[in-house]
Amino acid sequence: MNSKSFWGWSSTEALREGGESGGFVTSFLESIVGKYDNILAVRKTGTVFEGAVMSIDSKEDAIKTQGALHAVCMELSHYIKKGERTAIVLKPCDARAVIENMKRNHVERENVLLIGLNCGGTLPPVDTMRFIDNYFELAPEDIVKEEIAKGKIIFKTTSGKEFWKTIDEIEEEGFGRRENCRYCDVKIPSMCDIACGNWGTPAGKNITFVEVFTENGNNALEQAVREGFINVGEPSEKMIAVRSKINGIMKKMAGGWNKRIIGRLRNMPNEERLAYIKNVLSPCIACYACRKACPVCKCGDDCKCMQMDPDDSLPISIFHSIRLLHLTESCIGCGNCSDVCPVDIPLAHLHQLFARNYEKKTGYKPGMSIEDIPPLSRGDLPEGY
Amino acid sequence: MSFEPKILAFLCNWCSYGAADMAGTSRLQYPSNIRIIRFMCSGRIDPNFVIEAFLRGADGVMITGCHIGDCHYIDGNYKTVHRYEFLKEYLDTLGIGSERLTLEWCSAAEGMKFSQKVTEFTERIRKLGPSPIKGDEQ
Amino acid sequence: MRTYHPYLEVICLKVIDSHCPGCSILCGVHIIDDDEGIDIEFMKSCTINSGKLCKFGIDLPKFYSSPKQEPYVYGKKVSYDDAIAATADALKSWENTRGMSEGVILCTGDATCEELLVLGKLAKKADMVCATGLGKIVSTIGGTTLLRKSSNFNIIEYAKSIILVDIDPYYQYPLIARKLQIAKSNGAHIISIGTEKPHIDHIVDEVKLIHPSKMQKELESLCESVSSETLFITSLGIYSDLSTIAAINNNCTKQYSRIMYMKDFANTEGSLVLGIDTKNNSIEDIIEGMESGKITALFLIESPLYESYIDNERFRNACQNLQHLIILQSRATSVPNNAIMLPLPLFYERKGTLINVCGRFLSLKGDKEGVAGVSNDILEKLGAKKLSFETLTQEAVDRYSKWKSLIPERSTVEVPKSAVDSGPCHKYISNPFLVRGLPYTPCKRVGKGLYPKAKKKERYAVLQDIAENVVLSYEKDTRFRKVLDIYE
């Protein structure tokens, strides 16, 4: 189906005030409680820098998930179990991971309702705590709310004060969004059933812009409206244009960072790049954390990369070369591998370097649609043979 | 001492191994730099085999198989083609360079072509010099 | 496969904030406990480790899902209540022989502060000695000087020069290696002194390979080049050499430099703050006491010593001499036939407080009381009053804040003669796997790029990088394979 756009907000006044952008997602989750085996979302646990995965069983549970958590970078996709009807709230990279898992038959498309959130990037929690300590002299416990809006990161304290700085300023100083988020170019999760966000909503009004991509999402939304959980309205043409303009700006910014981070690696002479890759991989302690954190890596303990002797004396260990190979056609750039590496290897940059070069050559972008078959799995003959 | 390239050749059982055999029985000369590994089908060649060959000190890797349409397993070499394209991009990105990898089709009757291609490829690698991923000691 | 029952099915997804019990860094980690078993989730908001974990942390699901200890009495599997009754009987009969021989409660540190306090109380009540295996070091150097009071590891990042004494961050504490990497990029000069070349060639500027008996002299000669900007990092555990620790302590006292003692067990720090270990005895002394018959009762709490002591046979034989051997253990271990085995909840299941190597007060968010619960069951059997968990926590908090406000006094101590002579010696390199008797395959050859410039021929010649006459614990040592079946 063609995508449809709505403005949506919660019909409960308390949720509309308490939630982010009109509490649409919270109310939507309330409306589907009991209709799925498993409803997964992230809830707050104390501070805004900390979250935990939660399976929603009741309406009270749904309320616990309200509010944005930019500084919680969790990967939820691996909680989806095969054969379970699951609804899940996710950011674009998680959604891409789910799509990749569907291609590998770990998740069934018809069993899953993907509720996507527009994402301009996530913040690394510890660095952000350090940042607010350095620049605003605030304790992390004092922050009750954080927000990314109009190119600024805004922190609200317990006393109701607001502190903000522009993203550009922060990032020039080495803080700000995670590096992989800066060059990520998927901001609206078009592979989901519905995508929600505050881009394209009139200022000052608590409203969510909802784009529905599939029949499944449309049915769920219609039902939620019918049962009185949410109200919807028709967005104006002007605001639809505003939304795509914001998306364009974000993508342009991502392009700039792509040039700075990935482009730097790409433009190195061959020998230098090889030496760089050898060098950054050399401190590896073979803990396999990158593999564990990777949302598209699903072979389990029987994977051939685990069978390889960590003791080999090769310039690049077989473990890493297999992972580089596999992720060349499936890396979604979520950055989890870099986050969890105990010796700070910039793995996400390496995998993205390979994946983006391959994307340039073949036009295949992993995780965008379940219909896109990776070139290596195609049975056809490419041109020129 | 002048540089003698080490070249690993992955040959398919049905055509190109026959071609190598043919080259032998016809007493055709080709450089002794290649080491041959026989596969049942060129479609069996995992990209990782090629990478491991480079990591373990090969200066060049040659993949050969049946001509398109002649595959003993009908479409095994279609997969080879996709993997070859994939590997070329991968080797360029890694910094080894895609010119160190080649894909050739040789039928069992093409002993002449096989020896020619091996000679050409060896010369190409000789010009390129040792593989950059090898340590200084090898 | 699950079938779809819209309103009946309740899927529990229990997420527990926890800390990795591997070493005293106590990295933050979420434990996910659902119907399919235990798994971990990286806790990226934890300021200790930013979500990063070492090999042991990644293996935690395996560690926690290995078989749990079941109650046994003298080699027979019994119910929990029977085992408690047997323990109460053993304690009663111990009361009768009181004064004639010694009893020891040994807990190397994998216990919460509350549990340690309970052990202290139990020791007082039963007239036993509470030990952590560090008694000798504590009584020579002073417990509080072995601790640090800072909120995080940033002192490593900003140190001008760092001296690693007998420590190999790659095997032992990989998260320290990361901080050293940052320190290096901030311009720190890093020296390593020890029996083995540390596997961080790209970080260390200078390596001194020496036999343990020469360590003391080497440290003294270093005294001039040390300043208040210097940070010593060394590992402190039950196998540590007292003379080395004393020599470092003296060096730092003279030059006002800083020390960081990395510890092998989760809450060794807590046991030092709470002053649990009161008697001047090391593990060696305890085993000798057991062999000579001086010690007749031993409480072994969450101590993997029965599996992982360097001379395993010796420890087991010494245990055979005991009249009373009571082992409280969470993960299954082999069962001595003269022991009463009591199960404990796993580390993440417990509640309580912990203190990590930087002196941070942390809490475990499980729901079981661990040793406190078990002792309450025993006390109930004995007809005594139960301990309240809240009071224990309050006591731990009070003692912690008292210690926090205390300025530690550091003084030079007399350095005892090194226990090892210059002949062949066995050097124990501790690591979360090894101290718990788990199989561990070190990635120690040239591979993995740990020696980026090494020649291929040297692949199996790493032994050159170990001081003469020293055998490392993981070299050619297969005894850790023994417990493989328990682990997997």
Using a CB-CB cut-off of 8 Å, the residues of chain A touching B83 are 376
Write the ipTM.
0.92
Contact between A325 and B92 using a beta-carbon 8 Å cutoff: no
Q: Do B135 and C455 touch (CB under 8 A)?
A: yes
Q: How far apart are CA B96 and CA B121, in angstroms?
A: 16
Q: Tens of pLDDT along chain A (385 residues)?
A: 788 898 888 888 888 877 777 788 889 998 998 889 889 998 887 778 888 888 888 888 888 887 778 888 888 888 888 888 999 999 999 999 999 999 988 899 989 999 999 988 899 998 888 888 888 888 888 888 888 877 888 888 888 888 888 888 888 888 889 999 999 999 999 999 999 988 888 877 888 999 999 999 999 999 999 998 988 888 888 989 999 999 999 999 999 999 999 999 999 999 999 999 988 888 888 788 999 899 998 887 777 777 765 556 678 888 888 999 999 999 999 999 999 999 889 999 999 999 999 999 999 999 999 988 898 888 888 887 8
H/E/C letters for each residue in chain A?
Answer: CCCEEEEEEECCHHHHHHCHHHHHHHHHHHHHCCCCCEEEEEEEECEEEEEEEEECCCHHHHHHCCCCCCCCCCCCHHHCCCCCCEEEEECHHHHHHHHHHHHCCCCCHHHEEEEEECCCCCCCHHHHHHHHHHHCCCCHHHEEEEEEECCEEEEEECCCCEEEEEHHHHHHCCCCCCHHHHCCCCCCCCCCCEEEECCCCCCCCCCEEEEECCHHHHHHHHHHHHCCCEEEECCCHHHHHHHHHHHHHHHHHHHHHHHHHHHHHHCCCHHHHHHHHHHHHCCCCCCCHHHHHCCCCCCHHHCHHHHCCCCCCCCCCHHHHHHHHHHHCCCCCCCHHHHHCCCCCCHHHHHHHHHHHHHHHHCCCCCCCCCCCCHHHCCCCCCCC
Burial class of residue C316, CB neighbours in 10 A (0-12, 13-18, 19+): middle
Q: Provide the residue type at C78 as one letter.
A: V
Q: Are residues A218 and A133 in the same domain?
A: no
CB contact under 8 A, A328 and B75: no
Under 8 Å between Cβ of C180 and C166? no
- Domain range for A136: 125-176
Q: Which chain A residues contact residue C440 at CB under 8 A?
A: none
Chain B / chain C CB contacts < 8 angstroms: 6
The verdict on A89 and A224 lying in the same domain is yes
- The answer to whether residues A73 and A204 belong to one domain is yes
Q: pLDDT class for B1, splitting at 50, 70, 90?
A: low
The enclosing H or E element of C326 equals: strand C324-329
pLDDT value, residue A365: 94
Q: Is A132 inside any structural domain?
A: yes
String of b and e for C449-482 (b: at least 16 CB within 10 Å)? bbbbebeeeeeeebeebbbebbbbbbbeeeebee
Cβ contacts from A onto B, under 8 A: 83
* Residue after which a domain boundary falls, among A158, A176, A194: A176
Indicate the pLDDT class of residue C454, thresholds 50, 70 and 90: very low
Give a yes or no: residue A384 inside a domain.
Answer: no
Share of chain C above pLDDT 70, in %: 87
Residue A381 has its nearest CB partner, among B78, B96, B134, at: B78
Contacts with A211 (C-beta within 8 Å, 6 or more apart), sequence order: A3, A4, A5, A6, A188, A190, A194, A195
Nearest-CA distance C226 → chain A (Å): 28
Contact C350, C112 (CB under 8 A): yes
> Hey, are the CB atoms on B90 and A270 less than 8 Å from each other?
no
Interval C62-114: pLDDT, tens: 889 888 899 999 988 999 999 999 999 988 888 887 777 888 999 988 899 99
Asked whether residue A212 falls in the same domain as residue A78, the answer is yes
Record the pTM.
0.90
Does residue C482 surpass a pLDDT of 70? no
Asked if C452 and C202 touch (Cβ cutoff 8 Å), the reply is: yes
CA distance C457 to chain B (A): 9
* Domain containing residue A224: CATH number: 3.40.640
d(CA A222, CA A227): 9
C161: pLDDT strictly greater than 50: yes
In a domain, A277, yes or no: yes
Rounded CA gap, A84 and A75, in Å? 18
Is A256 within a domain? no
Highest mean pLDDT among A361-375, C208-222, C303-317, C420-434: A361-375
Mutate to test the interface with A, among C181, C448, C451, C456 (most CBs of A within 10 A): C448
**Looking at residues B115-135, what average pLDDT do you find?**
91
Question: The domain B7-128: what is its CATH number?
Answer: 3.40.50.960
> Is A73 a member of any domain?
yes
Contacts of the segment A133-141: beta carbons below 8 A, 24+ positions apart: A135/A165, A136/A163, A138/A163, A140/A47, A140/A49, A141/A47
Contact: A340, C459; criterion CB under 8 Å: no
Among B119, B107, B122, residue whose Cα is nearest residue B61: B122
Task: Give the angle A227-A229-A234 at the CA atoms, nearest 5°.
Answer: 100
CB contact under 8 A, A382 and B51: no
Does the structure show a pLDDT above 80 at B28? yes
Which residues on chain B are in Cβ contact (under 8 Å) with A375? Answer: 82, 85-86
The answer to whether residue A151 sits within a structural domain is yes
Asked if A276 and A315 count as a contact pair (C-beta separation under 8 A), the reply is no
For the cut 90, the answer to whether the pLDDT of residue C398 exceeds it is: yes
Instruction: Spell out which residues of chain B touch residue A382, defining contact as CB-CB under 8 Å.
Output: 81-82, 85
Give DSSP secondary structure letters for B54-85.
Answer: HHTT-SEEEEEEPPTT--TTSSHHHHHHHHHH
Question: What is the SS3 assignment for C266?
Answer: coil
The tally of domains found in chain A comes to 3
Quote the pLDDT of residue C481.
Answer: 35
Task: Indicate whether A166 and A129 sit together in one domain.
Answer: yes
Contact C427, C470 (CB under 8 A): yes
Q: Are residues A171 and A234 in the same domain?
A: no
User: Is the pLDDT confidence value at C450 over 50?
Assistant: no
Distance from CA of B93 to the nearest CA of C (A): 20
Q: What is the pLDDT of residue C5?
A: 35
CB within 8 Å: A329 and B86: yes
Determine the distance in angstroms separating the CA of B100 from the nearest CA of chain A, rounded to an integer.
13
Q: Nearest-CA neighbor of C27 among C50, C4, C59, C6?
A: C50
- Per-residue pLDDT, B46: 92
Distance CA A351, CA A183 (A): 13
Q: Strands A208-212 and A112-117: what pairing?
A: unpaired
Report d(CA C463, CA C49) in Å as an integer: 32
Contacts of A376 in chain B (CB under 8 A): 79, 82-83, 86
Residue C7 has pLDDT above 50, yes or no: no
In three-state secondary structure terms, C178 is helix
Rounded Cα gap, residues C332 and C343, in angstroms: 9
What's the pLDDT band for C458 if we cut at 50, 70, 90?
very low
- Alpha-carbon gap, residue A123 to A181, rounded angstroms: 9
Residue A266 C-alpha, separation from nearest chain B C-alpha, in angstroms? 7
- C324-339 residue pLDDT tens: 899 999 988 888 888 9
**Tokens coding A122:** 């996530």
Question: How many CB atoms are closer than 10 A to CB A232?
Answer: 17
Tell me whether residues B48 and A321 touch, CB distance under 8 A. Answer: yes
Tell which wins on pLDDT, C467 or B44: B44
A298 burial level (CB within 10 Å; 0-12, 13-18, 19+):
middle
Chain A contact for B135 (CB, 8 A cutoff)? yes
Starting at the edge strand found earlier in the chain, the sheet holding C206-209 runs: C206-209, C189-194, C161-165, C230-236, C258-263
Does the CB of C452 have a partner CB in chain B at under 8 Å?
no
Q: How confident is the model at residue C462 (pLDDT cuts 50, 70, 90)?
A: very low
In C65-165, at which residue ranges do the beta strands (DSSP E only) sit?
72-73, 76-77, 102-106, 129-131, 161-165
**Residue A27: CB atoms within 10 Å:** 27
Task: For chain C, list the contacting chains (3+ Cβ pairs, <8 Å).
Answer: A, B
Kindly list the domain boundaries of chain B, sorted by start residue: 7-128
> What is the average pLDDT score of chain C?
81
Does residue B86 carry a pLDDT above 90?
A: yes
Residue with the two structure tokens 């020496």: C210
Q: In C348-433, at which residue ranges do the beta strands (DSSP E only) sit? A: 351-355, 361-365, 425-427
C-alpha distances in Å from residue A99, one per residue of A110, A354, C345: 12, 20, 39
Instruction: Examine the domain organization and report whether A97 and A194 are in the same domain.
Output: yes
CB within 8 Å of C123: residues ≥ 6 apart: C105, C129, C130
**In the predicted structure, residue B132 carries a pLDDT above the cut 80:** yes
Amino acid at A385: Y
Proportion of chain C above pLDDT 90, given as a percent: 20
In the predicted model, what is the mean pLDDT of residues C251-261?
86
A49 and A187 share a domain? Answer: yes
A85 contacts in chain C (CB < 8 Å): 4
Q: Is C457 on the interface with B (CB under 8 A)?
A: yes
Residue C218 phi, psi (nearest 5): -60, -45
Task: Give residues with Cβ within 8 angstroms of A232, minimum separation 6.
Answer: A6, A7, A8, A210, A221, A225
pLDDT tens digits, residue range C22-73?
Answer: 999 999 999 988 777 888 999 988 888 889 998 899 989 988 988 889 999 9
Is residue A230 within 8 Å of A224, Cβ to Cβ?
yes
Query: Which chain A residues touch B82 with a CB distance below 8 Å?
Result: 375-376, 378, 382
Residue at a domain's end among A245, A276, A291: A245
Structure confidence at residue C474 (pLDDT): 58
Q: From CA B109, how far away is CA B67, in angstroms rounded?
A: 12
Closest C-alpha to C219, from C180, C197, C192: C192
Quick one: pLDDT at residue C444?
42
**Cα R_g (chain B), whole angstroms:** 14
Cβ atoms of residues B94 and B8 within 8 Å: no
Same domain for A189 and A52: yes
A144 plus A42 within the same structural domain: no
Considering the domain boundaries, does residue A354 fall inside one? yes
Q: Which of A274, A323, A329 to mutate to test the interface with B (most CBs of B within 10 A)?
A: A274
Residue C439 predicted with pLDDT over 80 = no
- State whether A159 and A303 are in the same domain: no
User: Do A139 and A108 fall within a single domain?
Assistant: no
Is 70 exceeded by the pLDDT of residue C286? Answer: yes
Give residue-wise pLDDT tens across range C381-394: 888 888 899 999 99
Could you give the CA distance from residue A180 to residue A159 in angstroms, rounded to a whole number?
33
Encoded tokens for C121: 């109380």
Which one, of A286, A288, A262, lies nearest residue A355 by Cα?
A262
Residues 6+ positions from C178 with CB-CB distance below 8 Å: A342, A343, A344, C52
Taken in order of first residue, the domains within chain C and their CATH numbers are 13-65 (3.30.200.210), 68-424 (3.40.50), 425-487 (no CATH)
